[in-house]
A and B are shown apart, each in its own frame.
Chain A
Amino acid sequence: MPIEVDGKSLEVDEEGYLANLNDWVPGVAEVMSKEDDLELTDEHWDIINFLREYYEEYQIAPAVRVLTKAVGKRMGKDKGNSKYLYGLFPYGPGKQACRYAGLPKPTGCV
């Protein structure tokens, strides 16, 4: 079941993650968040962009602690915790935010 983004049809897997990571454009996050009734703010975009940068370098989503630390550094210590991230992405930063960012889903005992 593909999703429509900017007039293009993009393949996603059973769980709604992009099948081809290179297909990602910002519109992917917009379309996916709309389906979840979530409005993306600059704060969401900061996380999405960080995830993409980290993935580019390491070929994996950052660990929760790596992410919270980076967020704390960029946006202030009070935001460097998973409560803040869950506030932005109620379904979990690891999974929901990764999906919006076009990253594969973290697998395993997480």
Chain B
Amino acid sequence: MAKYDFEIPKLKEYPEVPELVDGTMDHMETFRAKPEFQEALGFKGELGENWKEDAIEAMGDLLGKYRSLQVYLDSCVKCGACTDKCHYYLGTKDPKNMPVARQDLLRKVYRRYFTFAGKFFPKLVGATDLTEEILDDWYNYYHQCSQCRRCSVFCPYGIDTAEISMAAREIMDRIGLGDKYSNEIIGKVFKIGNNLGLPEPALADTLEGLEEDVLDETGVEVKYPLDMKGAEILLVTPSADFFAEPHVDGLIGYGKVFHEAGVTWTLSSKASEAANFGMFIGSYENMRKISLRIREAAIELGVKRIVFGECGHAWRVAYSFLNTLAGPFDFLDPNYPVPQHILEFTYGELQKGTLNIDKSENDHMVLTYHDSCNVARATRMGDKPGGQFEIPRAVIKAVCNNFVDMAPETIRGTTFCCGGGGGLLTDDLMEVRVKGAMPRMEALKNVIEEHGVTNMAAICAICKSQFTKVLPFYGMDMDMIVSVHQLVSNAIILTGQVSEDDEDGADED
């Protein structure tokens, strides 16, 4: 672990609401995007002289476009139900990380410039002028929100802090104050096709390597095709699946499932990324442009179905917005969900009985499952309510003998964010990432102690990378985090697979 100079929260047996400590996180300012990153996304390069007027104008524009934003800014009654629901508040004790306070950073400026009372009696209604100090607060604290929407579950008015935080980031982007992490990455998607900046030859080389590995391990030629025209399925998956661990073990699993299901599939070098950081920065234009790559790739390759790999926010964009962003998808086969989640696909195959599973291959593990925030609270899977909770668990239980859930208030609809979502997965925000992971770490530690859990499975690239990084801060092993399709991959016996026992036997002969 590299040197970090902050206190790591102590994990407790029961969650405790911390006493407020003012300003613990006001030093946390993520790197700003350089003008070139800003301009590539259609934003102003840097703050101009008239940044205040620009910001008010941008706010007015968003209020006109998104009725929800105005409703959220108007309707808070300060009941306090949200205050102790945010993992960043619980982990940092900073009152500005309470959802209501985070919203108020924007609300008080909204009131000043857009409401009658705020224009004429600002002090009476908590309205304030937009100042540099407030802009700093916006920048620092709207980049300490992972847009996980746990607070909105508890809000009696359903105020969605994520939408407010997205709007705030969009306003800042427009006036020339964007964050480096998200905006540099979106630029790479436009230029190269994915968040990593992985060019087509490197992608092809990586996939070839996977084919070799699977052949070595199983004796079966499982293909990981790229740009194969006429394939039935286009798989759109986060580029971390090509690059990082345990992500790649999940990708190996998707390939094995497709192979056994007997369908043809392909990845695309054009749409070699499921992630859509346009959502994190609240930019409809960028979100749309990123989504259109998927449409173009699907048309060029002539596929009939689109399946998404394990990526949390990508599934939100896909499930909730893809049709209006990049539709209509009338050229796809209407007999299948448009788009479909890889877990729905695998679940379907498990039910049909096409996969030969040996659960004992995962007997060295006791699993628990981390519900990713965007999947849990913004999407669904399958055709039944709650499918986004049940299908991942059903798949895990179908391939593993040992499964235990974490405490009920920390999973499913009330799941705690991993601490790195919403465009915060950058090293310069490590303090907020580590502290924000505290509630999840606490719940995990409890099932480790009570039930002997050894591993936690997830279906989001950000969650997987975040846990790999933060687990060691809490004294746990980075390898604890696994992909759900890694478990599937372990348990599948491919048709014609040479088992290790057979090989040993052959050696003896």
Interface size on B, residues (CB 8 A): 41
> Is there a chain A Cβ closer than 8 Å to B499's Cβ?
no
Tell me the complex Cα distance, A69–B245, Å. 13
For chain B, residues 184 to 238, give those with C-beta under 8 angstroms from any C-beta of chain A: 184-185, 188, 194-199, 201-202, 205-206, 209-210, 213, 238
Q: A7-37 interface mask toward B, CB cutoff 8 Å, 1 = contact, 0 = none? A: 0000000110000000000000000000010
How many residue-residue contacts, CB under 8 A, span A and B? 93
Cα–Cα distance between A69 and B213 once the two chains are bound (Å): 9
From B1, B31, B180, A91 is in contact (CB under 8 Å) with B1
Q: Is the interface of B mostly helix, strand, loop or mixed?
A: helix
B240–A109 touching, CB < 8 Å? yes
Residue tally, chain A, CB below 8 Å to B: 26
Cβ–Cβ contact B245 & A108, under 8 A: no
Closest residue of chain A to B207 (Cβ to Cβ) is: A63
Are B427 and A63 within 8 A (Cβ)? no
- A106-B243, A107-B195, A107-B197 given as contacts; is B205 within 8 A of A66 (CB)? yes
Bound state CA distance, A90 and B444, in angstroms?
A: 24
Q: Does A60 contact B (CB under 8 A)?
A: yes
Question: Which of chain A's residues have a CB closer than 8 A to the CB of B240?
Answer: 108-110
In the complex, A15→B427 CA distance in Å? 9
Q: Are A63 and B244 in contact (CB under 8 A)?
A: yes
Task: Find out whether the CB atom of B461 lies under 8 angstroms from the CB atom of A59.
Answer: no
B237-270 interface with A by 8 A CB criterion: 238-240, 242-245, 247-248
Interface string of A45-73 (1 = CB under 8 A from B): 00000000000011110111110010000
Chain B's closest residue to A59 (CB) is: B199
**A58 B202 Cβ-Cβ under 8 A:** yes
Q: In the complex, which residues of chain B have a beta carbon less than 8 angstroms from the beta carbon of A86?
A: 478
Instruction: Tell me which residues across on chain B come within 8 A of A90, comparing CB atoms.
Output: 1-2
For B210, what are the chain A residues with a Cβ–Cβ distance below 8 Å?
Answer: 65
A-side contacts of B271, CB under 8 Å: none
**Other-chain residue from B2, B31, B195, B201 in contact with A108 (beta carbon distance below 8 A):** B195
Residues of chain A within 8 A of B184, CB atoms compared: 107
Contacts A36-B2, A109-B462, A109-B465 hold; do A60 and B427 have CB atoms under 8 A apart?
no
Query: Closest 10 interchain pairs by CB?
Result: A108-B195, A109-B461, A58-B202, A109-B240, A91-B2, A63-B243, A110-B244, A108-B196, A109-B462, A60-B202
Q: Which residues of B contact A (CB under 8 A)?
A: 1-2, 31, 180-181, 184-185, 188, 194-199, 201-202, 205-206, 209-210, 213, 238-240, 242-245, 247-248, 273, 275, 311, 425, 427-428, 461-462, 464-465, 478
Interface residues in chain A, defined as those with a beta carbon under 8 Å from any beta carbon in chain B: 14-15, 36, 57-60, 62-66, 69, 82, 86, 90-91, 94-96, 104, 106-110
Known contacts A15-B427, A63-B206; 9 additional CB pairs below 8 A are A15-B428, A64-B244, A65-B209, A91-B2, A104-B197, A108-B275, A109-B244, A109-B275, A109-B311
